[in-house]
Structure 1
Amino acid sequence: MTRRILLSHLSLILLVLLTLEVPFGVFYARSELSRFSRTAQQGAMTLAAVCEERMEHGLAADLPDLARAYGRRTGSRVLVADEKGVVLTDTALALVGKDLSAAPDIADALRDQPAVGTRSDPSAGGEVLFVTVPGGSGVAVPCVVRTVYRLGPLKAKVHATWLALAAVGLGVLATVALIGFVLARSITRPVRALERATAQLAEGRLTDPPATDHGPPELRRLAASFTRTATRLQHVLRAQQAFASEVSHQLRTPLTSLRLRLENFEPHLAPCAQDSLDTALAEMERLSRMVQGLLALARLENSAIRPEAVDLDAVVADRAAIWTAFADEQHVGIVVSGATAVRVWAVPGALEQIIDNLLSNALRVSPPGTAITLAVTTAPKDGSRTPPVAELHVIDQGPGMTEAERQKAFDRFWRGSDADHDGTGLGLPMVRQLVRASGGEVTLEEAPDGGLDAVVRLSYAESRTHQEGLGASVDVDSAGRPRRHTTHGVVSAGMAVGSRIREKRPK
């Protein structure tokens, strides 16, 4: 922002300087040439009058001395021709005795018409100014005087003026740049403080609130409003976290007590009421999982969770080995395939819970004799110019979902019309929350051979671009490795998934 403000000021000042200095420089160059031409013409006319007088008195022999004296005084080359255009004297001694009546300027002067102009003269070292005037007025012109001046000194003077204008312009730009930089810093310093405070607030804790006594009044008021809002938001978040913790404790105890009381009824119930008791216990278990899932989601949304580098294929292999026993009970196989030695950015403990939720859903809909595939692949994120990502595919061979169902599957409490009644509708929302906290994305796609393909995309941990993109959300040590952080939200989410795993164990 400082650079943009400074560039805008400098662009405006540069435009003003160009508007003022360029016309002035052009005007100065033209005026100097015009003044020099008028002075040379006046001097040539004076010399021509003197030469005419000397020739009238028969003193033509004095013309060479007179021409040399004038040439030394004005720094010009002087040529005097008679009424026929024959050169009488030339300070350069190159044209004495030659007939120049055919020269345009000499011919004009013999017709009593002065000639002034510029031309290139290699012998003079560049462009020259010539002034040719008649010596007298009337029908007969007794003599013609031509004076030639080198324009090099005049151009050097004009160039020096251009350099002076450029130096003045650069000085003005430097002064404006210094003043603009100071002003821009005074404006952007509160903005940077607000940016830092916003980043801290995004992490869940505002430790360095922006100062309210620096910068323009508008930014001071904005900083004060932001500080009040952040303080209020932190208070609300703390209250919500305290509420979630308190509710977790208050609900878990009565639910556990109610479950024990229902189980104590079992010896005293008639056989015909056993099914009703099992149904009540199943609903109680489902209610317990739902409460734990809601509290886990609340903690995930309110906690500052930092990703770290995780070995994806190792986690996949570990979870597949754990779930194989439960899958064998339903005669469903679990197949692991794809890339190895893949490290991705993920919230600590999130990958395990993501895979547990997806495997639980896949196992619930997989018919006996089918298999669930866990495949790890790699793909560019948005083309070859962006960091590649790792994709985890959890593919089942169940009935699958329609496009509309896949769009709604991540909504809380949503379940398919043909789904069983022991689900809570919180597994996929929890998966999406964990994947987003890890900086990735999750989608549901149609499997090639039928069924559902749950695709989890996470960025490589080796990708420096992704690490920089996480900004303050990734805490790294001096070696560039992310530090490990634990959160209550992740632990609670693991408890919710753990209940599903326990539910599948044989009694």
Structure 2
Amino acid sequence: MTRRLLLSYLALALLVLVGLEIPLGYFYARGEESRFSQGVERDASMLAEVAEENIEKGNLEALPELAQEYAEDNGARVVVVDRTGRVLTDSVGAAAVGADVSGQTDIAAALRNEATTATHTDPQAGDVLVATMPGSSGTTIRGALQVTYPMTMVTDREHRIWLALALAGACVLAAVAVVAFTMARWITRPLRTLERATTQLADGHLDNPPDSATGPPELRRLATSFTHTATRLQHLLEAQHGFAAEASHQLKTPLASLRLRLENLEPYLDPRAHTSLEETIEEVERLSRMVHGLLALARLESAATTPEPVDLDAVLADRAAIWEPLASEQHVTVVVTGPAVGRVWAIPGALEQITDNLLANALRVSPPGTAITLARAPGAEVHVIDQGPGMPQADRERAFDRFWRASDSHHDGTGLGLPIVRHLVHASGGEISLNAAPGGGLDARVRLRPADQERRSGNITSRAAQHFGRRTPTHRSGPRSPV
């Protein structure tokens, strides 16, 4: 932002300078040309009077000295002709004495007692200013005098003026740049501190609050408001984290005690009530799983951690080996296919939880004699494919909603397993989607970022910070119970 402010100030200053200096330089150049032309006309008129006087007295020998002296002093060419248009003297010797130049337009006009001043282009000298004056007394014309000046005498002065204006403009721009840079730094300093504070807050802590003592009043108020909001948000997150930890401890014991008491009632109940008792115990177990799932989501959402390189192939092989015995009891096999993927970015323990939840869901719907495939694909993709009944498109779109369960579902899930999986995948910088598997069944596609091909980027960390705190999910060696 400092650069943009600086450029805007310089652009405005440049626009003002151009609007002022170009007209000033143009009018000065026109004035310089006008003054030069008037000076040449004045000199030519005076020389013409002196030449006319010498011609009248017959003192033609004085004309070459007069022309040569003026030409040497002023760098001009002087030509004197008599009343018939024949050259009496030429200071540079370009026209021979006695040559008839009456055919020239300027000379002819001067012999008619008409003074002329005009700019011409000379093949050798370039642009020249020519002033031709008649040498006359009243109506009697005794000759004419022509003075020729190269225009470089004017253009050199004009160039110096333009150069001076350019240097003055550059100095003004330099001064504006210094002032603008100082102002831009002063204006944007609260924004820079606010940016650093926002990054720290996204990581779950705020060590350096934004500067609210410098900068424009609006930015100081913004920094103060942000600090207040961030402090309150930190307190709320700490309270939520404390609640999740406390509730996790406080709710486990009553639920376990309730289940134990219900089981102890079985010998004292009428056999006809055993069915209701079993259903009650199942509901208590479901309530316990739901509480555990909610607390797990609360911990995930109130914490932040940073993705790390994890060997995806090793995790898949480990989870497949652990789930194989449980799948064999239902006559289902777990197969790992596809080329090795290598390391991917994931928060610690996330891949194990993702794989366990997806395998648990797949095993729940897999009929005997089928297989669950963990298919690896290029681009750090993993597909968990089952051969179950599949899921309609509308259900797949809602499957990641909390507590949502399909209308035809007959299992006792809580509807929290896939939301937890989605949080873990997003926190690791990846994406997850549910698709129809070829030939029936469901294909859970997880796409992560390969750690061997790219460095960890800031948007991975920022995305992880949106879902997690610094707490690391615990790693469990066995299959995780789905929620």
Q: TM-score of the superposition, structure 1-length normalised?
A: 0.88
Q: Which residue does 1:385 correspond to in 2?
A: none
Q: Which residue does 1:386 correspond to in 2?
A: none
Contact 1:292 1:496 in 2 (8 A): no
Q: Which residue does 1:108 correspond to in 2?
A: 109
Contact 1:442 1:456 in 2 (8 A): yes
Q: Which residue does 2:347 correspond to in 1?
A: 347
Paired with 1:415 and 1:53, the residues of 2 have a C-alpha distance of 122
Paired with 1:488 and 1:261, the residues of 2 have a C-alpha distance of 35
Paired with 1:307 and 1:16, the residues of 2 have a C-alpha distance of 53
Q: Give % identity.
A: 57
Shift of 1:122: 4.4
Q: Which residue does 1:391 correspond to in 2?
A: 381
Shift of 1:194: 1.1
Paired with 1:309 and 1:301, the residues of 2 have a C-alpha distance of 22
Deviation readout 1:340-382 (Å, 9 max, x if unpaired): 1422111110011011111111111122222222222234xxx
Q: Which residue does 1:375 correspond to in 2?
A: 375
The reply to whether residue 451 of structure 1 matches residue 441 of structure 2 is yes
Give the residue type in structure 2 aligned to 1:103: Q
Paired with 1:207 and 1:227, the residues of 2 have a C-alpha distance of 11
Shift of 1:264: 3.5
> Secondary structure, in 3 states, of the residue corresponding to 2:209?
coil
Contact 1:112 1:138 in 2 (8 A): no
Contact 1:292 1:495 in 2 (8 A): no
Give the residue type in structure 1 aligned to 2:364: R
The reply to whether residue 430 of structure 1 matches residue 430 of structure 2 is no
Contact 2:300 2:469 in 1 (8 A): no
Unaligned runs of 5+ in 2: none
The reply to whether residue 498 of structure 1 matches residue 474 of structure 2 is no
Contact 1:348 1:486 in 2 (8 A): no
Unaligned runs of 5+ in 1: 380-389, 476-484, 502-507
Q: Which residue does 2:120 correspond to in 1?
A: 119
Q: 1:45-124 alignment to 2 at 5 Å?
A: 45-96=45-96, 97-124=98-125
Paired with 2:3 and 2:63, the residues of 1 have a C-alpha distance of 70
Contact 1:298 1:489 in 2 (8 A): no
TM-aligned CA distance change 1:337 to 1:108, over 3 Å: farther
Q: Which residue does 1:176 correspond to in 2?
A: 176
Contact 2:204 2:470 in 1 (8 A): no
Q: Which residue does 1:207 correspond to in 2?
A: 207
Contact 2:301 2:469 in 1 (8 A): no
Shift of 1:74: 2.2
Give the residue type in structure 1 aligned to 2:345: W
Give the residue type in structure 2 aligned to 1:111: R
Please, which moves more after superposition, 3-12 or 43-52? 43-52
Please, which moves more after superposition, 11-20 or 163-172? 163-172
Deviation readout 1:147-198 (Å, 9 max, x if unpaired): 1112223222211211111111111111111111111111111111111111
Q: Which residue does 2:318 correspond to in 1?
A: 318
Shift of 1:83: 2.3
Shift of 1:138: 6.5
TM-aligned CA distance change 1:433 to 1:474, over 3 Å: closer
Q: Which residue does 1:335 correspond to in 2?
A: 335
Contact 2:308 2:345 in 1 (8 A): yes
Give the residue type in structure 2 aligned to 1:498: R
> Secondary structure, in 3 states, of the residue corresponding to 1:190?
helix
Deviation readout 1:297-318 (Å, 9 max, x if unpaired): 0011110121111112221222
Give the residue type in structure 2 aligned to 1:427: G
Q: Which residue does 1:190 correspond to in 2?
A: 190
Q: Which residue does 2:283 correspond to in 1?
A: 283
Give the residue type in structure 2 aligned to 1:217: P
Give the residue type in structure 2 aligned to 1:302: S
Please, which moves more after superposition, 321-330 or 464-473? 464-473
State the aligned residue count: 480
Deviation readout 1:245-287 (Å, 9 max, x if unpaired): 1111110001112222333445666766555444333332222
The reply to whether residue 460 of structure 1 matches residue 430 of structure 2 is no
TM-aligned CA distance change 1:330 to 1:107, over 3 Å: farther
> Secondary structure, in 3 states, of the residue corresponding to 1:499?
coil
Q: Which residue does 1:478 correspond to in 2?
A: none
TM-aligned CA distance change 1:117 to 1:375, over 3 Å: farther
TM-aligned CA distance change 1:342 to 1:403, over 3 Å: same
TM-aligned CA distance change 1:15 to 1:486, over 3 Å: closer
TM-aligned CA distance change 1:98 to 1:376, over 3 Å: farther
TM-aligned CA distance change 1:169 to 1:303, over 3 Å: same
Contact 1:297 1:489 in 2 (8 A): no
Deviation readout 1:214-254 (Å, 9 max, x if unpaired): 21222222211111111111111111111111111110001
> Secondary structure, in 3 states, of the residue corresponding to 2:282?
helix
> Secondary structure, in 3 states, of the residue corresponding to 1:356?
helix
Alignment RMSD (CA, Å): 2.5
> Secondary structure, in 3 states, of the residue corresponding to 2:299?
helix
Paired with 1:327 and 1:142, the residues of 2 have a C-alpha distance of 130
Give the residue type in structure 1 aligned to 2:444: A
